[in-house]
A and B are shown apart, each in its own frame.
Chain A
């Protein structure tokens, strides 16, 4: 059953939530590689929501819905920021961007998860990873 909760724009709260989700996935037998992928996507999604979406504003929250089953894990992360257009983010693996320190988070989510979809406003990301 899916669970939905709100956390403050706070990295320690995000860490606790991340550990809770990963623990549930570990208990369901997800491999270390799958757990690494889920952790990476969670970190990128939560960091984007807290830092870029809510801009660390303590009055804003991040809503996270997730479900961990024996077949897949899905996670929705929504912030209260203005959103963005994912297609506008340059490809960080292109030669002209390879030395830029930022801009790899969305690409990593796409590489490590089976589905990554944003809503139209660009302030909610849906992540899905299928269990092997």
Chain B
């Protein structure tokens, strides 16, 4: 399968004070809107702490990154936060190039990200 053409799968669950969003596959040109829509719903309805488990995410563009930024800013304003779990090397490089790790810190495991 071509890189970045994997189907997008998103699961959302609330655990204690956190909303965990598990994302697998590609938030590419055609399904980025679904990704943006899910994060917008989490922004409206989710818990103060949001964990984005993106270990299985293969691709994201500026559109998807923008929705993560909106979510992070919103949660910070509500004294919560957003954390990322174990991005692939390519998405880490993307986060580094955009300097977004400043507002979207990366943790290696879900357990580490859940520690307050």
Interface on A for B, CB 8 Å cutoff?
11-12, 14-15, 18-19, 22-23, 26, 32-33, 35-36, 39-40, 43-44, 46-47, 92-93, 98-105, 107-108, 111
Contacts and interface: CB of A to CB of B under 8 A. Distances in A.
A61 B11 CA distance: 36
Contacts of A105: 61-62
B4 interface: yes
B63 A36 contact: no
Contact of A39 (B59, B99, B103): B59
B116 interface: no
Given A15-B29, A98-B99, A47 B2 contact: no
A129 to B, nearest CB: 14
Interface residues of B, number: 26
Q: Which of A35, A101, A102 has the most CB of B within 10 A?
A: A101
B28 to A, nearest CB: 6
Given A19-B2, A39-B3, A99-B69, A108 B62 contact: yes
Given A11-B29, A93-B98, A98-B103, A104 B62 contact: yes
Contacts of A33: 90
A47 B61 contact: yes
B112 interface: no
7 contacts: A22-B5, A32-B3, A33-B90, A40-B94, A43-B28, A46-B29, A101-B69
Contacts of B67: 101
Nearest to B60: A40
Main secondary structure of the interface of B (DSSP, over half): helix
Interface of B: 2-5, 28-30, 59, 61-63, 65-67, 69-70, 72-73, 90, 94, 97-100, 102-103
A33 B59 CA distance: 11
Given A23-B2, A43-B29, A100 B98 contact: no
Nearest to A46: B29
A110 to B, nearest CB: 10
Contacts of A103: 62
Contact of A40 (B61, B66, B99): B61
A101 B71 CA distance: 9
